[in-house]
Amino acid sequence: MSKNNKKRNRAARRAALGIAPTQHVDPLGPKPVDGMDASLGLNSTTGYLPAWDEIPVAFKNWHHPAARLASRLFSEGGKMPEPKPGVDRRLALRHISAVLHSMAPRHEHKIAGVAMLLNRWYTL
């Protein structure tokens, strides 16, 4: 499959989800992710994962409860905690799943970023 066909297919999946190409989503909330990206990972986590410099040092510590949960979800899977009020359970789960399945960022960046997102969206 050519690169252009992949882009068209991705654009068609996003259009089917109602995601406009220029749609602005709350930067602090979960972003829409289609099923294929959630199960196979994102090609790029830009916009889905905070930059390494934006992640507080606490989440870069492997002993933080959110970092331990992120690491366990990455390696073993498991049950997600209850989302905080106002957080869409399905969007948050797909967003985190897509980031954890992606090959793009370093493992440390992925775990620390997901820990930050878990702390922001779920009651730990």
The two structure tokens encoding residue 52: 């390494």
User: Best-predicted range by mean pLDDT among 18-22, 41-45, 49-53?
Assistant: 49-53
**Any idea where the domains of the chain sit in the sequence?**
36-121
pLDDT tens for 78-98 read 899 999 998 999 999 999 998
Question: Of 100, 91, 109, 82, which is closest to residue 29 (Cα–Cα)?
Answer: 91
- Residues 6 or more apart whose CB falls under 8 angstroms from that of 42 comprise 33, 48, 98, 99, 101, 102, 104
Structure pTM? Answer: 0.74
Residue 61 has pLDDT above 50, yes or no: yes
